[in-house]
Amino acid sequence: MEKAWTQWARHNLAIAGLVTASLLAGCGGGNDATPPTAPETPNNPVTPTPPVTPGPSVASVAISHDAQGSTPPTRVVATFSARVSSILPGLITASGNCTTLPAASTVLDGEARVLTVTLGSFRCDPGQTLKLTVDPSKVQLENATLADNSVWSRSFTIATPPQQIGGSVSGLAGTMTLVNNGGDSLNVSSDGSFLFSASVAYGATYTVSILNQPPGQTCSVSNASGTVQGLAIRNVAVVCATDTYSVGGTVSGLSGSVTLQLNGGSSRTVNANGSFVFPVALAQGSAYAVTVLTQPVSQTCAVANGNGAIGGAVSNVQVVCSTNTYTVGGTVSGLSGALVVQNNGTDNLALNSNGSFTFASPLAVGAPYNTTVLAQPVGQTCSVSNGSGTGGGANITNVSIACNANITTLSISPAVLVLPVNGGLSNITVTNTGSYAATGIGASLPSGWVGVSVNASDCASLAPAASCNLAFSTTNPYVGSNAVAIQGNNTNAINATLGFSVSGYTVYAINGPNQVQVVSEEKAARIWSTLMAAGAPSSTDGSSNTDAIIAADGVSSTAALSCRSMGASWYLPALCQWSGGCGVPSLQTNAVDPGLISHSQSVWSSTELDVPRAWTYFPIPGGGGGGATGNPTTKTDLLPFRCVAELPW
């Protein structure tokens, strides 16, 4: 940049010298100068040459940064040989996989030539890469253009240094040897922190273990292994304990020799009743398990209180021996494969057929028994009853094992099905959503539905994820029900809602032989009437209310008139025909609660309250009507409604 500046300065000085010499020549020299002569008048006038406006000069830029090795820069500096007039967006961009990319702030020095971009608020962890790009074309210069505006780009990869492994020791009262990864050993003689001398490479694993325990102590390691990342490992914890305790108890009923074992290792042979102690003590907090290694001749000894954790000397282990033994057995039913059962967590017995069974090993009288399933048969689950107790003088023969097919789950679609009377078949699709094959899928209908038939032949067997169809048809209408149970031999039960329709309308009541009460679909919003007394106060007789409303306000676009326009038998239902509790069939109970119809807002009834208001009702699916009275609503409000009628079938 300095060279470019020097050339620019020499160029301009040379131009200045020429201009000065020209001016001196035009003005003459000193006192000895010859007087000027009058110039001759030219024959042709000469047009003066216009001055040349100098164009923009060519500038250069130098870009540097303060990165140190693999440490990314915090500052990028662009030095221009010409003054900067403005900076456009996109001068510097950052990319890469750093956890947080830097935010850039730009400062221009007082001479408007040095542009410093500070990079802040970023995080680049070991192994991540940061790429910086500077586009000089995003800087505008004063009366100058860059000779080279190529994009400057640099990438920086963050170093992944190896890390030392260490932690802390507590409770130590001697010297122990720790080792990392089986090679780097370290002798530790006191509590406090420790640090292995050899570092572990980034991404490599470490495992700290105890090579040599301190004399008279047992030490254990936690947080012992892991993978090295960007930070030193300092959380390995070594805890040492010097307290050890004996394990023992009493033997009773022995008439020979019994050999006991502690934790599958240390053994103790006992030849007489009384107390015993194992020769090996255990560290505080460690687990203990006392078992019988060798039973006495003609006796069976059982251990009680034989398991636990060391918190002090253990002296309550009880070994009860008896020459009188009893067997444990019972019966298996429903088995269709191979079953393995156990008694008291051992004495495995494989069963392949139904019938009686007996465990091979007898138990001492007074010792407990507990029969459990070790391995279930394929496709079945077996459960045990009468499986535990304490043996007396007789053999146990009442253990019962019942096996059943594994239960699978079903789903249905649709959940609500309306059957047209004498309208052919309508299907509910059943899907096996469980893990086992379903068998014998069918539908359980309410009692009295003698005219309804179900064809379940398609659903005799249903593999997992497969579907089948239950085909319904009816020759008679009934009040709909949401208690139609769909279930297989080994499945859950799902309740479907089954309704009926006559002439395309849902049945909600049976009025008599070959007469049904039906409800229409929801109608678009209408007014009840204009603000006049209509004489329609009945809470149960919607038909008379409808006649009264039409007589009083027959020219208005009312809900009542819209219902009657469907046919002479159609009318706007009264309030109790919606809510129930008045001795008339209820739309809430017979249509809404089963899920055959629903509403998003209040609907008109035909029951008038006073001159400006009539009753509306808000049906709540599953809410029940009871003695609901509805809501008083201004007659001129626009609300949806449904119509009802008595139809033959």
Whether residues 593 and 486 share a domain: the answer is no
Same domain, 284 and 342: no
Runs of H (alpha helix) within 228-298: none
User: 492: which 2 tokens?
Assistant: 């859950």
| Contact between residue 202 and residue 231 where contact means Cβ atoms under 8 Å apart | no
Q: How many CA atoms lie within 13 A of 17 on its CB side?
A: 6
Mind listing the pLDDT tens digit for each residue in 503-551?
999 999 999 999 999 999 999 999 999 888 889 999 999 999 999 999 9
Q: Of 283, 299, 322, which marks where a domain is finished?
A: 322
Q: How far is CA 286 from the centre of its chain?
A: 38
Answer yes or no: is 35 within a domain: no
Domain span including residue 256: 244-322
C-alpha distance from residue 218 to each of 262, 309, 435, 559 (Å): 18, 15, 49, 90
628 and 558 part of one domain: yes
First to last CA, the chain: 103
Q: Do 113 and 95 share a structural domain?
A: yes
Nearest to 625, CA basis, from 527, 560, 523, 539: 539
The total number of structural domains that make up the chain = 6
Q: Which two tokens stand for residue 281?
A: 């003590």
Pairing of strands 416-420, 494-502: parallel
Could you tell me if 204 and 275 lie in one domain?
A: no
Beta pairing partners, 309: 287
Residue 372: partners with Cβ closer than 8 Å, 6 or more residues away: 341, 342, 343, 345, 384, 387
Banded pLDDT at 265 (limits 50, 70, 90)? confident
| Residues 527 and 490 occupy one common structural domain | no
Please determine, for residue 134, whether its predicted confidence score (pLDDT) is greater than 90: yes
At 457, is the secondary structure helix, strand, or coil? helix
Q: Are residues 448 and 353 in the same domain?
A: no
Same domain, 540 and 621: yes
The token pair that represents 478 in the structure block: 């009934």
Query: Across the chain, what does the average pLDDT equal?
Result: 87
Q: Look at residues 206, 241, 276 and tell me which one is the last residue of a structural domain.
A: 241
Which percentage of the chain shows pLDDT scores above 70?
90
Backbone dihedral region of 625: left (phi > 0), alpha (psi from -120 to 50 degrees) or beta?
alpha
Strand partners, 481: 498
Task: Please name the residue that has the structure tokens 């460690």.
Answer: 286
Burial of 3 (0-12, 13-18, 19+ CB in 10 A): exposed
Nearest to 241 by CA among 309, 173, 191, 288: 173
Note the pLDDT tens digit of each residue in 347-369. Answer: 999 999 999 999 999 888 888 99
Q: Facing residues of 145 across strands?
A: 58
Q: Is the pLDDT of residue 461 over 80?
A: yes
pLDDT digits (tens, 9 = 90+) for 389-434: 998 778 999 999 999 888 999 999 999 999 999 999 999 999 999 9
User: Does residue 225 lie within any of the structural domains?
Assistant: yes
What CATH number should be reported for the domain holding residue 358? 2.60.40
Higher pLDDT, 159 or 94: 94
Residue 287 lies in a domain: yes
Last residue of a domain, one of 322, 337, 368: 322
**Contact of 495 with 485, CB cutoff 8 Å:** yes
Phi, psi of 588 (to 5 degrees): -60, -50
Model confidence at 39, in pLDDT bands (50, 70, 90)? Answer: very low
- Specify the length of the chain in residues: 649
187's tokens: 């002798």
pTM value surpassing 0.95: no
Q: Are residues 640 and 521 in the same domain?
A: yes
Flag whether pLDDT at 570 surpasses 60.
yes
Residue 52 lies in a domain: no
Q: What does the pLDDT average to over 444-470?
A: 96
Position 206 in a domain:
yes
Nearest to 167 by CA among 189, 187, 196: 196
**Tens digit of each residue's pLDDT (9 = 90 or more) over 140-186:** 999 999 988 899 998 888 888 899 999 999 989 899 999 999 989 99
514 token code pair: 């070959």
Query: Of residues 52 and 18, which shows the higher confidence score?
Result: 52
**Is the model more confident about 161 or about 493?**
493
Q: Record the tokens describing residue 109, joined without a space.
A: 């020095």
Does 572 map to a domain? yes
If asked whether residues 262 and 222 sit together in one domain, one would say no
The b-or-e profile of 489-522 (16+ CB within 10 A means b, else e) is: ebbeebebbbbbbbeebbbbbbeeeeebbbbbeb
The number of CA neighbours under 13 Å toward the Cβ of 647 is 22
419 and 498 in contact (C-beta within 8 Å)? Answer: yes
CATH number, position 428: 2.60.40.1510
What is the percentage of the chain residues whose pLDDT exceeds 90?
Answer: 67
Measured CA distances, 258 to 61, 320, 360 (Å)? 96, 11, 20
Which pLDDT belongs to residue 48?
52
Does any domain span residue 49? Answer: no
Rounded Cα distance, 556 and 15, in Å = 101
Residue 415 gets the label, from left (phi > 0), alpha (psi -120 to 50) or beta, of alpha
Assign 74 to helix, strand or coil. Answer: coil
Q: Let me know if residue 547 belongs to a domain.
A: yes
The reply to whether 626 and 529 lie within a common domain is yes
Q: Which of 88-97, 309-318, 625-634 has the least mean pLDDT?
A: 625-634
Residues 375 and 419 placed together within one structural domain of the fold: no
pLDDT of residue 379: 79
